[in-house]
Structure 1
Amino acid sequence: MVQLPDVLRRANIHKTRGIQVPVLFEWLITTIFTRYSIFRAESDPHFTKKTARNCLNNRHTNWQRLVILLAVRLIQYVKHFTDTRRAQALILDDSLFKREFSRKTELLARVFDHNHQRYYHGFRTLTLGWSDGNTFLPVDFALMSSGKAKNQLGPINQFDPRTLAAQRRAQAKRKMNEVP
């Protein structure tokens, strides 16, 4: 159905030795759906929880590509079960992600909340999703900060501009209508 090994490989998620990455991600997905954190989840006899954390923290992982590839495959799968007369739509949402008590979070900014007409410390989460009226699947996402220097609160680390990290940080500082 989803062909998880192919999707993980295309999102640059791999390990050089030890447990296979699809097995590790299946354990992580199972942990999430049983409503446990990694710390409270049952251990797997084939790997440690530290292995899972190290895989999730790999700086070469392209999370946006992973979400897009999974969404495309899941949408193709879900379409077989939906009525052809049902309208499909792309939904764009920008929500406030408050981090009021953070001080040293990278790219933390003062963000204006239009609902309460005031500024909060945090980020904006820009999410593109697909819906058929009954199902919602996230297709892409971006964590947005502020491009204005006076609204930036957190430290800004410098990275090689060719890396994924630098590209994500540059994306976070753009205006929302310019984010691809």
Structure 2
Amino acid sequence: MQSTPPAQRMRNFAIVTIAIVLVVALVLGVRAQNFTDSLATQAKQSQPLDIALTNGKPTLMEFYADWCTSCQAMAPDLATVKAQFGDRVNFSMLNVDNTKWLPEVTKYRVDGIPHFVFFDNKGRVLAQAIGEQPRQILELKLTDLMAGNPLSDTAAAGEVSKFTPKVVPSEDKADPRAHG
């Protein structure tokens, strides 16, 4: 038997390594694509809002968009939460890109997504949260929601800017509110 020269072995090793890296990248890419598909699937399976707010169960409403990377990143955790709580809590998803939901976007002051609105079993708003929410926090909030307790961790759901702009008319320019 002939032995393979060291240069040939090194080339073969490099080819195998590159092939493994490409397979891993392909698998991760397909997984990332499934997040978007998962969002679309979850939206199709979500409870219509009018039914969710009137059927006597608490509701978690999510404003989302297919292009939203945070929404995509949360999709697997939301699927897990829906599987865990779906028989006791309504899950309703509203796509902000659909003009049908413009009244709700305005009513709930959606200025960032994902945007979650938590309703009690009578359809009253209890709390809202904006941005990615860890699965454990969602589970805790839904457990409180089902029990009729105040929602945990709602007040401390992120940092708020301490900036306060000074709104003072300039002395050297005419006041634009003077209309003249």
Shorter chain as denominator, the TM-score bin is under 0.3
Larger radius of gyration: 2
TM-score by length of 2: 0.21
Greater RCO structure (CA 8 Å; 6+ sep)? 2
Say which structure is richer in strand. Answer: 1
TM-score by length of 1: 0.21
